[in-house]
């Protein structure tokens, strides 16, 4: 026990040893919450004798889950580390065991964006749609919005309708949105595919419909821990609520001051009001900060204190004094970038590697000026927004070969049947699509039945079938890493890349092989190909850390959960940060939390900057309210805003805040149905904060009407 509890401060120790009931830990940035979570897991296993398989620990990224798994293994020495996963990863585990309850096979596919795009291509080709109707990105967003908000019971159609009925619904759809949505549901069911939204929906449906399955999982999970609780949405909350219904042991860790994902469904109230929903909750505050200097924390505390809807706490520094927080407000955006170059080079001259410096910003477009100036100055940099590792072409191809071996699904078939070239071009693929549709079979099966047809003479179709069948017959007895290496060689895929001279892609495949090997080791038990494919489909941040000596550029959202020695937070101008799209007081509080998150990423040095000039709409560019809200005594101004500009900014900010307050009267969103006492029912088309009025299309009128916020309207 001494080993597990040593080096813990009193709050961390209390969190580790508070094992029973409902426990809420409010853990500030850099307060050692990961240490507390891992030590608590080890305490449950080593000191209380709880079986690791009876513990669920939920994190928000696979990367953090993997790190936590390694830490716990080193503490317990046990290869069994229970259920340490994301919400979606846990749901995969449930569905792999109990998918029979929704008539799905255990070998269902977990779909990522590339898979969804492949489905969209099929739908667009079948129904004659083009990107003018809707881009793939817009289509993905539309599908997600309909699943989450507009048609939250869509999954009942997928589960209960036959494939033919669902296909008919798709064929009968008229509007582009309906064609895409119902075509997507049909494609999902056809290949037994589930996207991220489906995983939780299907799991909750099974728990609702089958009391025995629900009780089995409730009994199994004696202790449940949830990290980053401020980021969970309503469905995830409900899942945790269900799972802890038997043993009633739920331990949550979060920081309301770091809630920055409300646009993705996160609701800070779930953390702030946790004790109301779970009576008897024990709340523990962890406020000692081990990451940042006192100067950085003082500035961050000063800013976040301006938020009203929070649990009041101040982070207290453990580290000794460091450099002051520098602030610069230059004449132009170019001058701002030039100042950053100057400061970064000064740090570099003092022995700080470029890779220890990170530039954070609110929106991607900010990088244009930065890049131009950085390039002229020959300052090495990298932008963290490129194609992620598991989304790269060669990685998707390699994984599609593995999926062909395990599932023989249409999406994988379309991706690799002709890669390398096997003379299976457009005409032959169209034949296979038509055959599969007529005979209600997969594309692979269509090829298998038709390979003797004269159409496939002179192709390598039979060679491809033999390749897949050969691996499918014995893959279950072979390690996944061995299967991967063998299929990449036997298929001619690696030879193709060598012929093309694609060394970078070959290097990426080598990294993939290593990642598979690492996964096999980390499992600590026999790992099946299906297990690995489910794992990798959920991996959203698998890029290897860039070891090159370059300055990192990234959005604040990308930086969440990370820390860096030196941080430059730039473009702190009203309308940029906070965003001009912020239209409510809660939205402004979220923007302030985002600034707090950015500032608390810094360990040793923090630099804040903005610039004068003009916005695209011709309005003057003012300093961000966040710069003005920090106690000036806590900042060292390298260059202050010109005389009078700060006062002008305060006036403009005051007017904008008044409009935000008015927005509190705006109760209805566009698309919402309302009823007027005289005009009757209608739909809200838009809401104007300037006019303080809705534009409503009433059912009984040919033209819309502007109706003041103050009018008595009821939701339908």
DSSP state for residue 79 in the 8-state scheme: S
Alpha-carbon span 564 to 601, nearest angstrom: 6
Q: What are 149-156's contacts with CB under 8 Å, separation 24+?
A: 151/181, 154/185, 155/198, 155/201, 155/202, 155/205, 156/205
As given in the structure block, the two tokens for residue 230 are: 């401020």
98, 188, 227, 604: the catalytic one is 227
For the question of residue 14 being annotated catalytic, the response is no
625 CA to centre of own chain: 28
Q: Measured at the alpha carbon of residue 305, what is the angle toward residues 301 and 310, in degrees to the nearest 5?
A: 115
Phi/psi for 109 (5° steps) reads -95, 140
Q: How many CB atoms lie within 10 A of CB 277?
A: 12
As given in the structure block, the two tokens for residue 511 are: 């990294």
**What residues have CB less than 8 Å from 142, skipping those under 6 apart?**
134, 177, 180, 181
For residue 126, CA distances in Å to 72, 113, 191, 391, 430 come to 50, 20, 17, 26, 10
112, 198, 222, 228: the catalytic one is 228
Element (H, E) at 391: none
For the question of residue 258 being annotated catalytic, the response is yes
**Beta strands 705-708; 693-698: pairing state:** antiparallel
Strand pairing partners for 83? Answer: 56
For the question of residue 336 being annotated catalytic, the response is no
Q: How many CB atoms lie within 10 A of CB 359?
A: 26
59, 236, 258, 582: the catalytic one is 258
17, 34, 382, 540: the catalytic one is 34
For the question of residue 228 being annotated catalytic, the response is yes
Q: Are 54 and 45 in contact (CB under 8 A)?
A: no
Alpha-carbon span 434 to 455, nearest angstrom: 14
13, 24, 33, 190: the catalytic one is 33
Beta strands in 365-520 (DSSP E): 381-383
DSSP letters spanning 423-468 = S--HHHHHHHHHHHHHHT--HHHHHHHHTTSGGGTTSSHHHHHHHH
24, 214, 601, 625: the catalytic one is 601
For the question of residue 601 being annotated catalytic, the response is yes
For the question of residue 504 being annotated catalytic, the response is no
Active-site residues, by number, are: 33-34, 227-228, 258, 601
């Amino acid at each position: 026990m001494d080993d597990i509890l040593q080096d813990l401060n009193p709050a961390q120790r209390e969190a580790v040893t508070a094992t029973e009931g409902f426990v809420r830990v409010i853990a500030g940035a850099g307060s050692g919450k990961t240490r507390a979570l891992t030590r608590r897991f080890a305490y449950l296993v080593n000191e209380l004798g709880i079986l690791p398989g009876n513990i669920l620990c939920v994190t928000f990224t696979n990367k953090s889950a993997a790190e936590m798994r390694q830490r716990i293994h080193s503490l317990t020495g046990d290869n069994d580390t229970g259920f340490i996963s994301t919400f979606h990863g846990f749901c995969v585990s449930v569905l792999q065991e109990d998918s029979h309850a929704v008539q799905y096979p255990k070998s269902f596919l977990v779909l990522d964006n590339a898979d969804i795009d492949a489905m969209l291509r099929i739908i667009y080709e079948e129904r004659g749609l083009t990107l003018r109707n809707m881009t793939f990105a817009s289509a993905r967003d539309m599908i997600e919005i309909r699943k989450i908000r507009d048609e939250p019971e869509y999954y009942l159609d997928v589960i209960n309708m036959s494939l033919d009925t669902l296909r008919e619904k798709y064929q009968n759809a008229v509007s582009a949105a309906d064609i895409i949505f119902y075509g997507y549901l049909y494609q999902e069911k056809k290949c037994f595919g589930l996207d991220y939204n489906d995983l939780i929906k299907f799991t909750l449906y099974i728990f609702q419909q089958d009391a025995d399955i629900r009780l089995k999982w409730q009994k199994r999970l004696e202790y449940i821990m949830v990290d980053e609780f401020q980021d969970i949405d309503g469905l995830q909350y409900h899942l945790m609520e269900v799972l802890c219904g038997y043993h009633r042991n739920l331990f949550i860790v979060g920081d309301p001051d770091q809630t920055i994902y409300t646009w993705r469904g996160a609701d800070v109230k779930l953390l702030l009001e946790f004790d109301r929903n779970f009576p008897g909750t024990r709340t523990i505050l962890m406020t000692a900060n081990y990451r940042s200097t006192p100067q950085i924390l003082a500035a961050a505390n000063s800013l976040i204190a301006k938020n009203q809807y929070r649990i009041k706490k101040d982070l207290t520094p453990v580290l000794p004094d460091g450099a002051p927080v520098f602030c610069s407000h230059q004449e132009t955006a170019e001058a701002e970038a030039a100042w950053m170059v100057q400061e970064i080079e000064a740090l570099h001259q003092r022995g700080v590697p470029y890779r220890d410096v990170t530039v954070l910003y609110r929106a991607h477009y900010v990088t244009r000026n930065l890049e131009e100036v950085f390039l002229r100055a020959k300052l090495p940099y990298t932008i963290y927004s490129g194609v992620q590792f598991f989304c790269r072409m060669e990685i998707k191809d390699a994984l599609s070969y593995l999926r062909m071996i395990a599932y023989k699904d249409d999406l994988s078939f379309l991706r690799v049947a002709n890669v390398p070239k096997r003379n299976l071009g457009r005409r032959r693929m169209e034949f296979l699509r038509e055959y599969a549709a007529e005979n209600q079979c997969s594309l692979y099966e269509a090829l298998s039945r038709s390979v003797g047809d004269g159409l496939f003479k002179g192709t390598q179709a039979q060679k491809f079938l033999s390749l897949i069948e050969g691996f499918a017959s014995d893959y279950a007895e072979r390690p996944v890493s061995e299967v991967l290496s063998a299929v990449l060689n036997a298929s001619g895929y690696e030879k193709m890349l060598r012929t093309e001279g694609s060394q970078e892609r070959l290097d990426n495949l080598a990294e993939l092989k290593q990642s598979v090997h690492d996964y096999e080791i980390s499992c600590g038990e026999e790992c099946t190909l299906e297990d690995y494919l489910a794992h990798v489909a959920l991996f959203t941040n698998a890029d290897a850390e860039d070891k090159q000596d370059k300055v990192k550029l990234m959005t604040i959202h990308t930086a969440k959960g990370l820390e860096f020695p030196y941080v430059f937070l730039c473009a702190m101008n009203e309308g940029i940060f906070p965003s001009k799209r912020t239209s409510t007081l809660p939205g402004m509080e979220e923007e302030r939390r985002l600034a707090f998150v950015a500032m608390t990423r810094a360990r040793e040095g923090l630099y804040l900057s903005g610039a004068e000039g003009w916005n695209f709409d011709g309005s003057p560019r003012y300093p961000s309210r966040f710069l003005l809200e920090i106690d000036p005594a806590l900042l060292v101004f390298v260059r202050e805003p010109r005389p009078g500009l700060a006062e002008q900014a305060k006036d403009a900010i005051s007017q904008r805040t008044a409009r935000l307050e008015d927005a509190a009267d705006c109760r209805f969103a566009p698309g919402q149905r309302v009823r007027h006492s005289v005009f009757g029912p209608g739909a809200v088309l838009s809401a104007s904060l300037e006019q303080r009025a809705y534009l409503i299309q009433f059912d009984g009128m040919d033209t819309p009407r502007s109706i003041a916020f103050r009018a008595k309207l009821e939701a339908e």
